[in-house]
Amino acid sequence: MNIILCGFKNCGKSTVGAMLAKTLHFHFDDTDTLLEEYYRQENNELLGAAEIYTQHGQDIFRKLESSIIQALVKKDKRVIALGGGSVLNPTNVAHLHTIGKIIYLRASLALLKERMIASRIPAFINPHEVDASFEKIHEQRYKIYEGIADFIIDVDGKKTQAIVMEIRNAIPLSINETN
């Protein structure tokens, strides 16, 4: 059994996921990092996930992402942080449901915007219409996240440790008993 974290970029999937994995003594996988490693091995070129998306386009990026998710089907006792758009593919979602429980880390639009501005504008956001583009994509995706989630955890105003504890309390007892 795996715990799979989904949500919009900057909702805390990687940070929460790493701490949750440590707490449960699970392995932590971030699909963006796995995608970068796979790309480097296949192309002998070191690019970040955003650079791969920008240089090769959404279609190539999503195909690579799906390959990574397909490979996760063979894994167990992992916390997996998904790229924000990986659940746009229904085949990915079907595979993910077979390997674990999906938890949506739900953050408010205001918090996500604040974090985005503090870091950098994602490649999938139109740089000429940042607010409108961001809000449109958020509107499309949050419905998907809510629809596929086994559990929804609100993250606004909470410290990472509190979110981790809330996830541990939400997940089936059998996962908690693996420690």
- From the list 23, 35, 30, the residue with the least C-alpha distance to 4 is 30
Asked if residue 9 belongs to a domain, the reply is yes
Asked if residue 46 belongs to a domain, the reply is yes
Asked if residue 179 belongs to a domain, the reply is no
The owner of tokens 């974290």 is 5
What's the confidence (pLDDT) of residue 40? 93
Asked if residue 87 belongs to a domain, the reply is yes
Distances (CA, A) of 83 to 44, 145, 153, 157, 178: 22, 12, 17, 22, 26
Asked if residue 134 belongs to a domain, the reply is yes
CATH of the domain at 143: 3.40.50.300
Contacting residues for 46 by C-beta, under 8 A, at least 6 apart: 36, 40
Count of Cβ atoms closer than 10 Å to residue 172 Cβ: 12
Global confidence as pTM: 0.89
Q: Where are the alpha helices (DSSP H) in 29-159?
A: 31-43, 49-72, 90-99, 109-118, 130-148
Asked if residue 70 belongs to a domain, the reply is yes
- Long-range Cβ contacts of 58-66 (<8 Å, 24+ apart): 58/124, 61/35, 62/88, 62/89, 64/35, 64/38, 64/39, 65/31, 65/35, 65/89, 65/92, 66/91, 66/92
pLDDT(178) > 90: no
What range does the domain containing 90 cover?
2-173
* 11-54: pLDDT as tens digits: 999 999 999 999 999 999 999 999 999 999 999 999 988 889 88
Domain count, the chain: 1
Asked if residue 36 belongs to a domain, the reply is yes
Contacting residues for 57 by C-beta, under 8 A, at least 6 apart: none
- From the list 52, 117, 40, the residue with the least C-alpha distance to 83 is 52
DSSP assigned state of 87: G
pLDDT(177) > 60: no
Asked if residue 178 belongs to a domain, the reply is no
* 50-109: pLDDT as tens digits: 889 889 988 999 999 999 999 986 778 999 999 989 999 999 999 999 999 999 999 998
* 127-172: pLDDT as tens digits: 778 778 888 888 889 999 999 999 999 999 999 999 999 999 998 7
